[in-house]
A and B are shown apart, each in its own frame.
Chain A
Amino acid sequence: MSFELLFDPLFRVPFATGLLLAGILPLIGMYLRLRNEWLAALAFAQMASAGALVAMVLDGPMLLGGVLAALLAALVKGLLARAGASAYALMMLLAWGGGVLLVANHPLAEQAGHALFDGQLYFTGEGHLLATALAALVVLPVLACLSRPLLLARFFPEFYRARGQSERPRLLLFDLLAGLVVALATVSLGVMAAFALVFVPPLLAWRFGRGWKSGLALTGLAGMGGYTLAFALSLGLDQPFGPVCALLLVMPIVMTGVKFDRM
């Protein structure tokens, strides 16, 4: 065990980057869950990982490749709203197949591929932190503005149309925000850790939140708490971050007995 590594300056940037993302991802997850679109997060993550690998093979920045691929996926999702889960499944299969073939056939892609799929947070650099901080400055206030339209679209779908307005631009903007955040998380935390942080904390909020705002607070705290513990344990026990994070997040769901019919 090497828990003293937690205080090594080398790991401060990866920790801060992940902590920011661990606070934002569950908020995105709340609204994806609200719209029954949580599977989209996995599609965005797979697309981001494939985009990052393609960028690396082409000698470009992985961060940019991942973000562009996920934004493209978000745009496709927004424009093909009726396709729903089928579109996400097709995107996932496409991205996964392409990504694994790249890893198998390109020597440069192998190490990066493992980092993306296993979740090796410790390769995260200052560029990731800067991009995440800038994204947080944009995403959080815009998400606060989109909250009411997203809730209205679920519970009063005619609200805007009866007033001669369309809710589509707001929904598309949310898709793009979700794609951006999930892409940043994928290239920083790995595919499954990013998905776990989108998917699991909202389950706790759904079960224990007393209202929407308390649910948002609860999900953000659960994400950041689970992430911090996972970071410490994976570093201290020299284990890959992604699986440790996913297992730690899932544990309270099992222990608190969140009902499966409410998932």
Chain B
Amino acid sequence: MAGELLLRVVGLRAGYAGPVAGPLDFELRRGEIIGLAGPNGAGKSTLLKALWGGVRVFGGEVYKASGLQISHQAQGFDDLRGVPLSGCDLLGLTGADPAGLPPWLAGRLHERLDRLSGGQLQFLRLWACLAAPADLVLLDEPTNNLDRAGVAHLADWLGRAHGGQGIVLVSHDHAFIDQVCTRVVEVGA
């Protein structure tokens, strides 16, 4: 049975000073994972940001379910050198549940973030968005900087534990998109 409709995107065109991406059309229901695919420069990340109001919308509409809670994982990360923040602190900020973290990270939650490897830190940051209380999760290149174990755990988790959420993700990793997405929407150049 199809889940509750979370998002309906109709003819969305978005950008900054002017439109650089779109048009985009799709519907997302709870339990679905939609992958936005397309060549570099097609504006996939821009369209993803437009779904929560992070960039200017020049045309079309984004209809959201009433009271929709959105969590967005952006690319890149602030320099954390020297900041006295632990993994527990980071997850606590977004209210993310640590249950389901891979064992190689779950045991290091009390360590400072600047003691973790780049891949571990990226996974933790991703988890802080993915496991936060939200109906809709937007992931921008979630496999960037992850090692193979991280990508495998993410794919496994997305494949079995996201039923309560709808997910839209952008990735250049076609194999990952094919593996985890229930549907793929092409974004033109």
Contact B82 A210 (CB under 8 A): no
Contact B84 A211 (CB under 8 A): yes
Residues of A within 8 A of B83 (CB): 34, 206
CA distance A207 to B86 in the complex (A): 13
Given A151-B93, A163-B70, A212-B89, A158:B82 Cβ within 8 A: no
User: Interface-forming stretch among B39-47, B71-79, B146-154, B160-168?
Assistant: B71-79
Which 6 pairs show the lowest CB-CB distances between chains A and B?
Answer: A209-B84, A262-B82, A215-B84, A211-B86, A162-B52, A162-B70
Given A205-B84, A206-B84, A211-B84, A159:B110 Cβ within 8 A: no
Contact A156 B112 (CB under 8 A): no
A104 contacts the other chain (CB 8 A): no
Chain A-chain B contacts (Cβ-Cβ < 8 Å), number: 67
B12 contacts the other chain (CB 8 A): no
> Which residue, of A151, A158, A208, has the highest number of chain B Cβ atoms within 10 A?
A158
A to B CB contacts below 8 Å, 14 in the list: A155-B85, A156-B93, A156-B94, A156-B128, A156-B129, A162-B54, A164-B53, A205-B84, A209-B84, A210-B110, A210-B112, A211-B110, A213-B89, A262-B81
A154 contacts the other chain (CB 8 A): yes
Restricting to B99-137, which residues have a CB under 8 Å from any CB of A? 110, 112, 128-129
Contact A214 B84 (CB under 8 A): yes
Contact A207 B94 (CB under 8 A): no
Contact A158 B52 (CB under 8 A): yes
Residues of A within 8 A of B110 (CB): 210-211
Question: Shortest Cβ distance from B9 into chain A, in angstroms?
Answer: 16
- Give A residues with C-beta under 8 Å from B: 34, 148, 151-152, 154-156, 158-159, 161-164, 205-215, 259, 261-262
Contact B94 A159 (CB under 8 A): yes
Contact A161 B86 (CB under 8 A): no
Residues of B within 8 A of A155 (CB): 78, 85, 90, 93
CA distance A163 to B112 in the complex (A): 28
Residues of B within 8 A of A206 (CB): 82-84
Residues of B within 8 A of A164 (CB): 53
CA distance A262 to B82 in the complex (A): 6
CA distance A162 to B68 in the complex (A): 10
Contact A210 B52 (CB under 8 A): no
Question: Shortest Cβ distance from A46 into chain B, in angstroms?
Answer: 27
Question: Shortest Cβ distance from A165 into chain B, in angstroms?
Answer: 11
> Which residue, of A154, A159, A261, has the highest number of chain B Cβ atoms within 10 A?
A159
B145 contacts the other chain (CB 8 A): no
Question: Shortest Cβ distance from A167 into chain B, in angstroms?
Answer: 13
B36 contacts the other chain (CB 8 A): no
Residues of B within 8 A of A156 (CB): 93-94, 128-129
B69 contacts the other chain (CB 8 A): yes
Contact B93 A148 (CB under 8 A): yes
